Amino acid sequence: MDLPASGSGAGAGTGPLKETAAAIPTAIQRTPSQSSITKASSHAAGHRSSFAENMRNAPGSPRSQRHPSFTQAAVQELLNHPPAANKHSNPRFAGRDWRDISVNELVSPEDVKWATLDTSVEEASMTLVKHAPMNAVLIRQNASATTAISTFDYNDLNAYLLVVVGLANPDEGQVRLFDEIATKAQDGSPITLQDIQPICRKESLVTLPFDETLDKAIEIFGSGIHRVLVCGPSGDVAGMLSQLKLVEFFWNEGINFPAIDRLYPAILRDLAIGTQQIIAVNSDTILAEALALMNTEGLTSVAVIDNARNVVGNISTADVKHLTNAASAPLLKQSCLHFISVILSERGVEHGRDSFPVFYVNPYSTLAHTVAKLVATHAHRMWVVESASPSPSAPATPLLGPSSSVLVPPTGAVPPSPLPTQQQHSVPASALPGSHLLLFYHSAAMASAADAEFDTFYLQRTTQEFAQDLDKARKADDFKSDSVQFLVHALQQGVALYSDVDKTRVVRSMEAEEEIRADDKETVPESGGKKRKGKKSDGRS
């Protein structure tokens, strides 16, 4: 099942792949039973020791004995099977069959954003990028209409950009139309949504009555439709339901439906989930060619692979939002790998997100792990990479086996780099420019940590939010607790922690570390462990 292209962005991984039908994010723990409509905010616990303390021999720990480290199996078990104590039924859905849930219980009028046929493409694009949580803008005849006649989404924006830069491949009867649109764009003349309707590939606009049940919506999504409109008794649009929103609902509320919840511990191999053949592009493929390929083939995303056919990233139609201004035009002539690095840099610098989404799983990943990734990253697809062993510590970088294949576009469409007959060194995630500023979740890396206790987890919180949580955590009485519940809480919040005798150090981005150092320079430790304000350190400690 393809999910709507909702900002999959770019990610890195290290393994050959298959394509999984239901695809999503990196959260490693389900939240308590609450859908996105009524989610309650929670706070993560964390602590850092001062920079000055880390640079000199630490005094003896007041804790005479350290609790034993968790084993690899214990940590992996916590990731795949969250403790039942953290699950709470939702009175709205408890005891009900999911087939009896109506679609209007999952939608909100606030998710619907409108434009008219006379709206300019530029204005519609800004609405799509900044104000459309469902990754689509509904088009109506005029401002007073309440029924939709079409949509404008990232696939349409991609098609429009390709026409403007002259990279589209029109049919013989559309050549004149494409030339007119490109000329208007170059002259700065306004272009309306009505002007570009003929160049957009549209999926059927499906509507459901507000009292229709979820089983009908699932049947429609299974046919390849990405989203449906939910209409009230008078025919007015009451909301929009997408594949991703439905998956998110079952992830957050699965505890209320035993038939759904019992599926989550199963691994992908046993569930036989995934498509055997996928289309991918090489990391050195020109970005414009990759976008043209997606438009021609009707794809919402493609995997980016290195010469050894290992996954090094992901590009989706939602990423064209990074190409909507003239300054971004040179990116179209750069490689896909370079574009991925730009996306990561913009996410870290402009939005303060210390995150590095990983868009792959392996056949031994549980359905819970896979769905959690889809929900956390808001991706519409996960790539299934081969794993040499069901062990959680096995690296996800073996060669492609006979059961999976990568279809690299033929010459003339998107010319790939030649694929060697023998294994070559893959491009690791750490080789991506700017990736050292970000955190990412990788279960194999976690399991191979020195004491198999903590490693880097997927983190998608702004620096300001993280700082507030740290402040509250420092005031908590039990913040140094090594109990299982504390570990589960840390995993659930996606906080990267490293435990070391008497301190818990938070792994932060380089930008955050600079703030820490600046803070510590103004705080000089006195004997006895107290601190006083003083002049900046001269480096002698």
β-pairing verdict for 301-305 and 497-500: unpaired
* pLDDT at residue 32, as a whole number: 53
* pLDDT at residue 49, as a whole number: 53
Q: Exposure of 34 by Cβ count < 10 A (0-12 exposed, 13-18 middle, 19+ buried)? A: middle
Q: Which of 427, 449, 484 is the last residue of a domain?
A: 427
Contact 11, 361 (CB under 8 A): no
Does 493 reside within a domain?
Answer: yes
Beta bridge partners of 136: 153
Q: What is the 3-state secondary structure (H, E, C) of 453-507?
A: CCCCCCCCCEHHHHHHHHHHHHCCCCCCCCCHHHHHHHHHHCCCEEEECCEEEEC
**Do 234 and 166 reside in the same domain of the chain?**
yes
**Do 124 and 78 reside in the same domain of the chain?**
no
Give backbone dihedrals phi and psi of 138, rounded to 5 degrees, phi first: -80, 140
**Do 140 and 79 reside in the same domain of the chain?**
no
Q: Which of 237, 256, 275 is the last residue of a domain?
A: 256
Does 391 reside within a domain?
Answer: yes
**Do 353 and 411 reside in the same domain of the chain?**
yes
Beta bridge partners of 301: 316
β-pairing verdict for 531-533 and 497-500: unpaired
**Do 299 and 373 reside in the same domain of the chain?**
yes
**Do 276 and 391 reside in the same domain of the chain?**
yes
* pLDDT at residue 12, as a whole number: 45
**Do 418 and 278 reside in the same domain of the chain?**
yes
- At residue 365, what is the residue type? S
Q: Which of 34, 31, 29 is nearest to 90 (CA)?
A: 34
Beta bridge partners of 137: 152
N-to-C CA span, the chain: 59
**Do 221 and 193 reside in the same domain of the chain?**
yes
**Do 283 and 413 reside in the same domain of the chain?**
yes
Q: Which of 368, 396, 427 is the last residue of a domain?
A: 427
Does 462 reside within a domain?
Answer: yes
How far is residue 478's CA from residue 351's CA, in Å, rounded to a whole number? Answer: 32
Does 404 reside within a domain?
Answer: yes
Does 450 reside within a domain?
Answer: yes
**Do 218 and 114 reside in the same domain of the chain?**
yes
Q: Which of 414, 381, 387, 415 is nearest to 400 (CA)?
A: 387
**Do 121 and 251 reside in the same domain of the chain?**
yes
How far is residue 331's CA from residue 328's CA, in Å, rounded to a whole number? Answer: 6
Does 36 reside within a domain?
Answer: no
How far is residue 342's CA from residue 331's CA, in Å, rounded to a whole number? Answer: 9
**Domain range enclosing 365:** 17-24+264-427
Average confidence (pLDDT) per 10 residues, the chain, 541 residues: 45 47 44 50 47 52 51 61 59 92 95 96 95 94 92 95 92 92 92 95 90 95 92 91 95 92 92 81 95 92 90 91 89 94 76 61 90 86 72 34 39 38 35 27 28 31 48 51 40 37 34 51 46 40 36
* pLDDT at residue 139, as a whole number: 96
Contact 291, 320 (CB under 8 A): yes
Number of domains in the chain: 3
* pLDDT at residue 266, as a whole number: 93
**Do 307 and 360 reside in the same domain of the chain?**
yes
- DSSP string over 98-110: GGG-BGGGT--GG
* pLDDT at residue 385, as a whole number: 87
Does 488 reside within a domain?
Answer: yes
Give backbone dihedrals phi and psi of 17, rounded to 5 degrees, phi first: -140, 160
CATH of the domain at 334: 3.10.580.10
